[in-house]
């Protein structure tokens, strides 16, 4: 007789967890029991009873007589669970996590008003418990024919008993889809159940007879018997070694052995031992070796593949086809610290990992996906660096010194100094943002990866600068953005290159600070005054693109016309009036007022608005003569007062006027008519 084992059999994660919780209660010093059978295996139940943990079927008896209760692995209804909680009883919930997840599904759907369809055995404790989480209003079916009997349902939710036949589930589901649309489907058949069923099928195809070990009330074991019978004509279902049908088995050359999910290893080993004692061709040692061969080869540093059985905050439990399930602790799942496992991993997913420990002290094989990925990740990152290839990373952390991201799962750091060519004050703005970077330092031994976004900016800026300089010419008009303002001028970003507008080239008028003309962020058109490629300096003009205020000045300010202006500054001889920016005119002190003034400041104030009359315009020398007083009304002169009469002195009488004599010539002598000219006619007046 030759013995072959299924690649997967025996305790599943849920059963193993239940057994561990129950074992922890032995010797606790308090009365403890299980509500119904912990698992469907009489040998296990008897073993627990021998340790002081009784199986009690009555809820009231538990409430009256016990201090602690262990909830069976198949779960209970919500009402029963609430009764235990409300009573103050210590509750150890050994419900299989997969079953617990079904409870959550049906409770949520029921609260939302969705009808619930449960595919499973209506008499099974697991199904009864599931129905209790939707107030026993679920529609329970296990045959395709029952679908026609269902009422019309609006968007029903579908779940399945964890140990239900996968083949039958798919057939029922297919018909449900044709009857109901839409249909919310939760594939809740346990991954361990599926694997055991598939392993049983493969084994049944290669043996003459099949021996299935497990409880007669165990649903998953009965499913193995049912499925095995489809591919092997002879199937025996036994609970213990005492039930081995030796006489029947002796007829067959190759015997296949599998076990249900609630069958402990010690029962399976007892069956092997008994077979050996009955004189089989194989010794016990040979059969154990055969069993090991059927299992996946497991050793430290071996790379294995398995399916996820459960996901918790502590890690992920994986079925790897070994005699015990494997654990991947949280810190061995990812390079990141704060990863949410429930969002990253799903029950039933295939996962590849490396074995790091054959036994963690509790019988678990310890795996690591992080270490498996680490070697490949470093190789990939090295390729990025060697090829000078940029990578896109998402910023996961921000600290005072820089940013943290992950490349191929490896932690990488970008110092603040490598973020940009410009100073970045607020690093927090980059959190959860995707950014392009290059690897500038790599040291696997120190787990050190340094990133830089700055080098990418520098390359882009250099390319822009080269293209810019190649086309730059004097007197070229160019648009840029105001980048920085200093007291001496304005820096303008011109596409990778900065140019400077000196304060003297900002305005035709006099300004105290460049901020009076431009603001950081302004788009500004400039003209290239001069440039030097070697020193990377560009001199720009701004006012040069603005018409000179003195152009056509005679047309703007006509002699004799009155205009408004602002008092700009004083001098000893008058005041300068700003007519417009860049154009000042002079009001001489004599043209300020009609009355005499000593100081200009006695009459005017800086920034005062006044009306002025243009007296003259000298466009060549940029001079305008103005008058304020001529815009004012000329005051009238006051009348001179009359002198008072003087009565004290009598008026003096005037002498009569002497008659005037007309002298036509000066005469001297008798009747001779000699003039003065005749007397001095020979006089030389030049000497």
Instruction: Choose, from 25, 126, 194, 239, the residue flagged as catalytic.
Output: 126
Q: What is the dihedral of CA 269, 272, 273, 278, to 10 degrees?
A: 160
DSSP 348-374: T-EEEEEEEES--SSSPEEEEHHHHHH
**Residue 438, SS3 per DSSP:** strand
The 10 Å CB-count burial string (b at 16+, else e) for 179-195 is ebeebbeeebbbbbbbb
Name which of 240, 175, 176, 191 is nearest 212 in CA terms: 240
DSSP H stretches of helix in 308-433: 341-344, 369-386
Cis peptide before 664 (omega within 30 of 0): no
* DSSP symbol at 636: P
* DSSP symbol at 198: H
Residue where the block lists tokens 């300096």: 537
Name which of 59, 33, 35, 63 is nearest 48 in CA terms: 33
- Answer yes or no: are the C-beta atoms of 154 and 145 closer than 8 Å: no
Is 126 an active-site residue?
A: yes
Residues in the chain: 687
Burial of 686: CB neighbours in 10 Å, binned 0-12, 13-18, 19+: exposed
What is the 3-class SS of 33-90, one letter each residue?
Answer: EEECCCCCCHHHHHHHHHCCCEEECCHHHHHHHCCEEEECCCCCCHHHHHHHHHHCCE
Tell me, rounded to whole angstroms, the distance of Cα 456 from its chain centroid.
Answer: 22
Residues 6+ apart with CB under 8 A from 151: none
Rounded distance between C-alpha atoms, residue 514 and residue 91, angstroms: 77
Rounded distance between C-alpha atoms, residue 62 and residue 4, angstroms: 44
Q: Give me the phi and psi of 576, to 5 degrees please.
A: -95, 130
Rounded distance between C-alpha atoms, residue 385 and residue 442, angstroms: 8
Catalytic residues: 126
């Amino acid at each position: 007789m030759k013995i072959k084992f299924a690649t997967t059999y025996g305790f599943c994660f849920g059963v193993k967890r239940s057994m561990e919780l129950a074992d922890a209660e032995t010797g606790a010093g308090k009365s403890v029991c299980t509500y119904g059978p912990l698992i469907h295996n009489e040998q296990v139940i008897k073993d627990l009873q021998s340790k002081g943990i009784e199986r009690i079927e009555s809820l009231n008896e538990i409430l009256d007589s016990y201090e602690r209760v262990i909830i069976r692995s198949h779960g209970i209804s919500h009402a029963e669970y609430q009764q235990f909680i409300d009573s103050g009883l210590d509750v150890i919930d050994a419900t299989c996590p997969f079953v617990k997840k079904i409870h959550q599904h049906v409770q949520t759907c029921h609260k939302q008003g969705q009808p619930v369809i449960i595919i499973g055995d209506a008499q099974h404790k697991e199904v009864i418990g599931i129905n209790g989480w939707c107030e026993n209003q679920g529609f329970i079916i296990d045959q395709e024919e029952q679908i026609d009997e269902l009422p019309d349902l609006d968007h029903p939710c579908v779940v399945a008993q964890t140990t239900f036949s996968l083949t039958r589930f798919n057939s029922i589901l297919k018909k449900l889809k044709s009857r109901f649309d839409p249909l919310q489907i939760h594939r809740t058949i346990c991954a361990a159940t599926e694997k055991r069923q598939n392993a049983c099928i493969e084994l049944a195809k290669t043996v003459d007879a099949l021996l299935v070990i497990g409880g007669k009330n165990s649903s998953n074991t009965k499913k193995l018997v049912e499925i095995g019978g489809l591919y092997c004509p002879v199937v025996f279902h036994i609970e213990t070694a005492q039930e081995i049908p030796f006489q029947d088995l002796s007829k067959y050359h190759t015997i296949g052995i599998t076990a249900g999910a609630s069958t402990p290893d010690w029962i399976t080993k007892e069956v092997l031992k008994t077979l050996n004692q009955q004189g089989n061709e194989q010794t016990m040692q040979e059969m154990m070796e055969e069993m090991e061969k059927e299992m996946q080869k497991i050793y430290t540093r071996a790379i294995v593949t398995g399916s996820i059985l459960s996901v918790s905050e502590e890690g992920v439990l994986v079925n790897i086809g070994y005699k015990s399930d494997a654990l991947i602790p949280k810190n061995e799942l990812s390079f990141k610290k704060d990863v949410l496992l429930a969002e990253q991993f799903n029950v039933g997913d295939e996962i590849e990992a490396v074995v790091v420990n054959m036994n963690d002290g509790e019988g678990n094989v310890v795996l690591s996906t992080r270490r498996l990925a680490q070697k490949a990740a470093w190789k990939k990152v090295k390729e990025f660096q060697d090829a000078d290839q940029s990578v896109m990373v998402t910023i996961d952390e921000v600290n005072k010194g820089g940013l943290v991201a992950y490349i191929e799962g490896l932690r990488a750091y970008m110092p603040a100094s490598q973020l940009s060519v410009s100073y970045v004050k607020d690093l927090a703005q980059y959190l959860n943002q995707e950014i392009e970077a290059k690897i500038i330092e790599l040291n696997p031994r120190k787990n050190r990866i340094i990133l830089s976004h700055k080098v990418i900016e520098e390359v882009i800026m250099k390319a822009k600068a080269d293209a810019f300089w190649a086309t730059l010419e004097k007197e070229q008009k160019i648009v840029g953005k105001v980048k920085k303002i200093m007291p001496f001028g304005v820096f303008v970003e011109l596409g990778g290159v900065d140019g400077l507008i000196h304060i003297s080239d900002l305005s035709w008028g006099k300004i105290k600070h460049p901020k009076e003309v431009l603001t950081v962020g302004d788009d500004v058109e400039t003209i290239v005054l001069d440039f030097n490629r070697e020193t990377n300096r560009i001199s720009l003009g701004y006012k040069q693109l603005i018409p000179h205020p003195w152009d056509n000045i005679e047309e703007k300010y006509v002699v004799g016309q009155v205009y408004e202006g602002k008092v700009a500054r004083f001098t000893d001889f008058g005041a300068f009036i700003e007519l417009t920016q860049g154009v000042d005119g002079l009001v001489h002190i004599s043209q300020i007022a009609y009355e005499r003034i000593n100081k200009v400041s006695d009459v005017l104030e800086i920034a005062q608005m006044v009306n002025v009359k243009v007296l003259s315009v000298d466009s060549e020398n940029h001079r305008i003569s103005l008058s304020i007083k001529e815009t004012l009304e000329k005051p009238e002169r006051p009348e001179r007062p009359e002198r008072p009469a003087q009565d004290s002195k009598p008026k003096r009488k005037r002498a009569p006027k002497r008659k005037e004599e007309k002298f036509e010539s000066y005469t001297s002598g008798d009747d001779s008519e000699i003039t003065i000219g005749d007397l001095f006619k020979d006089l030389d007046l030049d000497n």
